[in-house]
Copies of this chain bind each other. A is one copy, B any other.
Amino acid sequence: MPLRLYSWLANVDGMSTEPFGVLADPARRRILDLLRERPRLAGELTAAVGLSQPGTSKHLRVLREAGLVTVRPEAQRRWYELRPEPLAEIDAWLTPYRWMWAGRFDALERHLDAMEDE
């Protein structure tokens, strides 16, 4: 039985893991930031994040399954490319909050001011 490894294309439809959880890890944010500039090899990313090769590979898997990166094989190398679409979900969640912190009279300030009055 041929035991298909390298089954990335399995969840192309993806959206499995939700993007908020994926971004919770700083290493994964780091990887995305690096890919923002240009596609990179898995090896480059491993060196950049400062984790072991398998450790980095697992983060890459999470990013793939969340649809945040795509992979292009080239011989034994793997070119990872950014796919920012899922970030739109976070952006959408953030939207109704965005006007709020623009120079408003902060709730915490109000709170502390109120305390001084006592």
Contact = CB atoms under 8 A, between A and B. Distances in A.
A10 interface: no
B94 A106 contact: no
Q: Is the interface of A mostly helix, strand, loop or mixed?
A: helix
A36 interface: yes
Contact of A101 (B87, B94, B98): B87
Interface of A: 12, 20-21, 23-24, 26, 29, 32, 36, 67, 70, 72, 81-85, 87-88, 90-91, 93-94, 96-98, 100-101, 106-108, 111-112
A88 to B, nearest CB: 5
Contacts of A24: 20-21, 23-24
